[in-house]
Amino acid sequence: MPHFGHVSYYRPGDVLASWLALSRAGLHRPPRTGVSGTAAEGADSIILADQYADDDFREDDLTYSGSGGRDPRTGRQTTNQEMSGRNLYLRRSLETGQPVRVFRRIAVATGNAYRYEGLYRVTDAVYEPGKAGFLVWKFRLVPQ
């Protein structure tokens, strides 16, 4: 069951050592996928981990690439994405306006960690060619 909004005492700027730590804290439940939530209720959290070429984090908004269409061995986009799976979570968030917790992978002295960027709202979804030439879903999120 998704939890929308802040979790416990965690606030923007907090850094957790690993994806597993995010999961154990209840901040981002799935220990491996970048979108947490359900198709019925929407996304409650996402992780920007530099896995998709079309992700873009800016000061006033961010673009989060949908999931799917990547070769699991190379990580490269090899086919068009579909409006299915976790992409449905983000589309539902667009419809409901529920807040989405955003985490971003950052470099630290010991390797990588995950910083809580805060609560965002999905404001748009477009289906257009990505950098690899295949159609990808791009979700625009703005800070709340």
d(CA 64, CA 58): 11
How high is the pLDDT of residue 109?
94
Which amino acid is present at 33?
Answer: T
The domain spans of the chain are 14-143
Cβ(100)–Cβ(45) under 8 Å?
yes
What percentage of the chain reaches a pLDDT higher than 90? 89
CATH topology assigned to domain 14-143:
PUA domain-like (2.30.280)
Low-confidence ranges of the chain (pLDDT < 50): none
Cβ(100)–Cβ(93) under 8 Å?
yes
pTM: 0.94
How high is the pLDDT of residue 51?
82
Q: What are phi and psi of 90, to 5 degrees?
A: -70, -35
How high is the pLDDT of residue 14?
97
